[in-house]
Amino acid sequence: MKPAIDLLVRGGKVVTPRGVTRADVAVAHGKFVKVAPAIGDDAATVLEAKGKYVFPGIIDAHVHFNEPGRAEWEGLDSGAAALAAGGGTAFFDMPLNSEPPVLDAARLREKRALAEAKSMVDFGLWGGLTPRNLDQLTALRDAGAIGLKAFMSNSGIESFPHVDVRVLGEGMKRAAKLGLLVAVHAEDDALATTYTNAQKTAGRTDAAAWLASRPVEVELAAIRTATELAGETGCALHIVHVSSPEGVALVHDARERGVDVTAETCPHYLLLNDDDVARIGAAAKCAPPIRDEARRLALWEDVRDGRLQTIGSDHSPAPAELKTAPDFFAIWGGIGGVQHGAQLLLSECADTAARDFPRLAALLAANVARRFHLPAKGLIEPGKDADFCVFEIDEPREIAAEELWTRHRISPYVGRPNRVRVTDTVVRGQAVFAGGRHVNFAPSGRFLRPGK
């Protein structure tokens, strides 16, 4: 008789937001069915995890895979493969950098079909919120958008204009009625322009000038505006890539006032500081920019205190020719971090006494699933989708460009020591990555929509 268990993960240290426990994990029909100290039942396949960590599949709610339209920058296939190599089992693709951007249901369905034909992991799709498509929000919701993304400053993409206060307020009012979450890139456009012009007038074009052109104040002004609008409209708001502890504090204060708002940060704000940007150069250019060391350390405190709710990579790559220019302002912004960002956070925790893996299990998986209404995702417990990865903690090994699965082997983390070795990534019970290499490139990713 065929065993009732399809896959038994044996002897690992199972990580949940509540802690780390030594347990076996049984999977059947793509779901976790049992987590217990010793499961003796027969299984079709056994995965030995002794000495390793069994971690919930990372849900990266913030990637730009740029397909269709700019697939030469990344791709739904290469991006998904890189995510899987880093322990990820689902991504939410942003509505811009793909061309045309996802501003209506037809574009969303088009991207969905492409991802279903290319992605080895599950995926959700963001719709855009711009001055051009306020009349398309209902259709985007009906087509299954995971949420709406708006820019409060110039997005750098002409086909994706930013919102002013009036449009954002109107969009949030409509989104609230539709039950859609709105995510904002929170930088104040007027302030960013003022500070940028000051640097350019002074003739400065180096990395330090770029950082000075977008001080924390630019982020804070936008967070204040967005949280006020969320309070007025009742809209669920998600501030993406919060770069500063001051920004986290504003979100925290708004939450205390009862505003439905959450904050995402990115691995690069927790792993790099302004000196690193000067040293690494173009591969570490992003907006909001990477901050100083004191702020980096304070953000880790926000992770540990639960004041930050989620971590997303904001993976936003570009070809090498766009990442080289004498003028730092002219370099395309965006960090390639979908493969190593989360691993390096785990690696940092492995280096500390606290080994705060449970916190990271919350921010990289459980909290994301809860915020985006994916009840089947985010936790290793019976009834949930069997999405997980297995990793071990080893001696530090420098990340080599050759191990990158992204289309362009550009990452600020090349050369950085990493103690985490992801050995397996499993999506709904199916291994996509095993023994440290991809084992199944089949496009088996499923479309995720809120509530399902």
Residue 299 CA to its chain's centroid (Å): 16
- Residue (314 or 348) nearer to Zn ion, CB: 314
| Site stretch for Zn ion (CB under 5 A), options 206-214, 219-227, 309-317, 439-447 | 309-317
Shortest distance, CB of residue 440 to Zn ion, whole angstroms?
28
Shortest distance, CB of residue 64 to Zn ion, whole angstroms?
6
Spatial CA neighbour of 218 closest among 200, 196, 202:
196
Shortest distance, CB of residue 338 to Zn ion, whole angstroms?
11
Shortest distance, CB of residue 94 to Zn ion, whole angstroms?
5
- Residue (64 or 112) nearer to Zn ion, CB: 64
| Calpha distance 130→208 (Å, rounded) | 31
| Site stretch for Zn ion (CB under 5 A), options 4-12, 37-45, 291-299, 310-318 | 310-318
Site size for Zn ion (CB under 5 A):
1
Burial (CB count <10 Å: 0-12, 13-18, 19+), residue 409:
middle
Shortest distance, CB of residue 287 to Zn ion, whole angstroms?
9
* Per CB under 5 A, 187 contacts Zn ion: no
- Residue (67 or 314) nearer to Zn ion, CB: 314
- Residue (77 or 314) nearer to Zn ion, CB: 314
Total Cβ atoms within 10 A of residue 318: 24
| Site stretch for Zn ion (CB under 5 A), options 149-157, 277-285, 308-316, 388-396 | 308-316
Spatial CA neighbour of 235 closest among 178, 314, 165:
178
Q: CA-CA distances (angstroms) from residue 116 to 110, 199, 355?
A: 10, 45, 36
* Per CB under 5 A, 314 contacts Zn ion: yes
Shortest distance, CB of residue 149 to Zn ion, whole angstroms?
8
| Site stretch for Zn ion (CB under 5 A), options 132-140, 145-153, 312-320, 357-365 | 312-320
- Residue (133 or 313) nearer to Zn ion, CB: 313
DSSP 320: G
- Residue (20 or 322) nearer to Zn ion, CB: 322
- Residue (187 or 314) nearer to Zn ion, CB: 314
**CB-based contact 56:379 (threshold 8 Å):** yes
Residue 63 CA to its chain's centroid (Å): 6
| Calpha distance 446→41 (Å, rounded) | 30
Length of the chain: 452
- Residue (6 or 314) nearer to Zn ion, CB: 314
| Site stretch for Zn ion (CB under 5 A), options 21-29, 106-114, 134-142, 313-321 | 313-321
438 has which bridge partners? 433
* Per CB under 5 A, 348 contacts Zn ion: no
Shortest distance, CB of residue 184 to Zn ion, whole angstroms?
11
3-state DSSP assignment of residue 414:
coil
Helix or strand run (H / E) with residue 353 = none
3-state secondary structure 103-170: CCHHHHHHHHHHHHHHCCCEEEEEEECCCCCHHHHHHHHHHCCCEEEEECCCCCCCCCCCCCHHHHHH
| Residue owning tokens 């539709």 | 178
Copy the structure tokens of residue 373.
Answer: 């209404």
- Residue (316 or 347) nearer to Zn ion, CB: 316
Question: Which residue number places its CB atom closest to Zn ion?
Answer: 314
Shortest distance, CB of residue 395 to Zn ion, whole angstroms?
33
| Residue owning tokens 């599949």 | 57
Shortest distance, CB of residue 243 to Zn ion, whole angstroms?
12
| Site stretch for Zn ion (CB under 5 A), options 98-106, 314-322, 335-343, 435-443 | 314-322
Interacting residue ranges for Zn ion, rule: CB under 5 A: 314
